[in-house]
Amino acid sequence: MPLRSMLPVILLAFLVSIMVAVLAAGRGSGWTLALAVALFAIQMLFVALRLNAPFWGERLPATETPPAAACAQSNAVLAGLIWTWGAVAMLAVYSLTALKWQHWWQYGLAMLAIAGAIFVYSLAMTGGRASHRGARTFRVLVGLTTAQGVAVVVAILWIVFSGKIYTLRGDWAANEIFIGGAAVLAMVSAITVLTLRKLTREARPT
């Protein structure tokens, strides 16, 4: 299923989760904020499965671009949306509530920058030169996606085992946003790597 057809559902989950997160942070309700984060994370995981499942069968879906390129672009856009959600959630929670944390805007802008870079790369996958869709490009993409997945898992473990998730300081909301976004990014990264490996393996000449 094309990503474009699922954008309304993604946008709805995006907006609702941000609104609930802001209200929860304003009231100091960690459980409600966690539910808002989970709402978006589960929706994005569902979208990732819907996007990639057609490529797991014997008959590949018809696409205007090579299947591997179409899959890579959709998953890259999905990852970019997750980074964007994290940035907007961070900026909204700390600018629209009385919650205080000195580093909120740095992390928010950093996540926006990462999202922007991913969106630019996704455009190159289908709109750039044919070399952007070669075997070497997909090997690099698999490596980068794997690195992203490993990095966010390490971030989750650090937050949990450092005790930051239990803090009473103003960064408790940021930690919940980090964990939710990182968890769904790890799962989307794993799904992307599995799908791309299958597609590139089948594309090799025999």
- Residue range 152-186, pLDDT digits in tens: 999 999 988 887 777 668 889 999 999 999 999 99
End-to-end CA distance of the chain: 29
Q: For the chain, what is the radius of gyration of the CA atoms?
A: 18
Decide: pTM greater than 0.85. Answer: yes
- Residue range 24-33, pLDDT digits in tens: 999 999 999 9
Q: What percent of the chain has pLDDT over 70?
A: 88
Domain span at 104: 3-203
- Identify the residue with better confidence: 113 or 121: 113
Within 13 A of 114's CA, how many CA atoms are on the CB side? Answer: 20
User: 83 falls in which pLDDT band (50, 70, 90)?
Assistant: very high
**pLDDT in the model for residue 131:** 47
**pLDDT in the model for residue 204:** 54
Average pLDDT value over all residues in the chain: 87
Q: Region 181-206: what's the mean pLDDT?
A: 84
Q: DSSP letters of the chain?
A: --HHHHHHHHHHHHHHHHHHHHHHHHHT-HHHHHHHHHHHHHHHHHHHHHHHGGGGSSSPPP-SS-HHHHHHHHHHHHHHHHHHHHHHHHHHHHHHSS---TTHHHHHHHHHHHHHHHHHHHHHHHHS-GGGGSHHHHHHHHHHHHHHHHHHHHHHHHHHHTTGGG--STTHHHHHHHHHHHHHHHHHHHHHHHHHHHHHHHHS--
At residue 95, does pLDDT exceed 60?
yes
Counting the structural domains of the chain, the total is 1
**pLDDT in the model for residue 78:** 95
